[in-house]
Amino acid sequence: MTSPFRHRPGRPAVAAALAFAASAVGLVGWGRLAVNRRMPLPPALPGRHERLGTRRAGDVSLYSAMEAEGVPLLLIHSVNAAANAYEVRPLYLHYRGRRPVYALDLPGFGFSERSRRLYTPRLMVEAIHAAVSEIRNRHHGLPIDALALSLSASFLARASLERPDGYRSLALISPTGFDAQLSGEGPPDGHRGRDWLRDLLDRPPFGRPLFDALVTRPSMRFFLRKTFGSPQIDEALLAYDHASAHQPGAEHAPFCFISGHLFPTDTTRLYERLRLPVWMVHGTRGDFVDYRLVPRVADRPNWRVETLPTGAFPHFEQPEAVTTGYDAFLASLARMPAGRPA
């Protein structure tokens, strides 16, 4: 028997279109029926937890522990599909009780505002400005120490360049921007965003189901293994990230990350302009080990660069080594007037 469709032109295209439509409908249905987008999410860190209303960055989440006196320390997590303040938990717990310590949820992550808007380096810098201003107001205007992970190191660098009097020192863990791909000497205060890609991804009804597929436990485990450079990841971090990624609006900032809007165009120039004391540490294992441009700053008197045999989150794998190195750096500042460069 001869098929009535055998010689009709366009059959493969029609079949492909039907298959795509069926897959899309299935993805939307799976997202709505099988995925919990309001998972219980406890605070990532102990101590005081509050949301600050800011004019330029929206509502931002800030954790604090002020059992001890001293120079305040602000900790800033990285940027990825499921970022949040849990990423700085080992450092927060270590310094809690030793000095005032704060941790920020950047816009679009954790308990900060997750509205559908354009997330750019400028928005992140404004959030850092707001947090630093609040912290300094609580501590008699004292310049602070600030530490940031990965891509957020570039946000912190820009914030400190714009308001240098607010900082005594900077610490950068596995900072993005010393590699060949994401280094930058482009226009100042720009980003690498592709608007068409963001518009394609962050669009109902398919955007959120697509994000749900991206943040399944197996997918998140895969990417954390790349970050750690090992199958031995931190399971508690995975569990919290999974819950954090299953909240209303969790997709908006990550889609801006994926489409390039959160990557600065001038990262290398930012680091080279820093005059404050800077401590940097990075690992030598995993997917994030390209630091070929570090020699451009490593020999400067205000920079101290260290390496550890870890992945990109050395403070989870070797917390004692990280805090020992950082404490030694801070001790070198102890006799310097606050806020004065080395």
What is residue 340's predicted lDDT score, i.e. its pLDDT? 47
pLDDT (tens, 9 = 90+) of the chain, 342 residues, equals: 434 333 444 454 444 333 433 444 454 554 555 689 989 999 999 999 999 999 999 999 999 999 999 999 999 999 999 999 999 999 999 999 999 999 999 999 999 999 999 999 999 999 999 999 999 999 999 999 999 999 999 999 999 999 999 999 999 999 999 987 766 777 788 898 999 999 999 999 899 999 999 999 999 999 999 999 999 999 999 999 999 999 999 999 999 999 999 999 999 899 999 999 999 999 999 888 899 999 999 999 999 999 999 999 999 999 999 999 999 999 999 766 544 444
For residue 118, which amino acid is it? L
Q: Regarding beta strands 303-308 and 58-65, do their DSSP bridges make them parallel or antiparallel, or are they unpaired?
A: unpaired
pLDDT of 227: 96
Token readout for 134 is: 């609040």
Could you give the CA distance from residue 159 to residue 128 in angstroms, rounded to a whole number?
Answer: 7
Matching residue, tokens 């199958």: 231
Strands, DSSP E only, in the chain?
A: 48-54, 58-65, 73-76, 101-105, 144-149, 167-173, 278-283, 303-308
Q: Where are the domains of the chain?
A: 48-333
Q: Enter the pTM of the model.
A: 0.89
Name residue 128's amino acid: I
User: Given its phi and psi angles, is residue 184 left (phi above 0), alpha (psi -120 to 50 degrees) or beta?
Assistant: beta
Contacts of 331 (CB under 8 A, 6+ apart): none
Report the C-alpha gap between 165 and 273 in whole angstroms.
15
End-to-end CA distance of the chain: 87
CATH superfamily, domain at 48-333: Alpha/Beta hydrolase fold, catalytic domain (3.40.50.1820)
Neighbours of 340 (CB within 10 A): 11
74 and 145 Cβ atoms separated by less than 8 Å: yes
Which residues have C-beta within 8 Å of that of residue 127, sequence separation ≥ 6?
A: 54, 57, 60, 104, 106, 107, 112
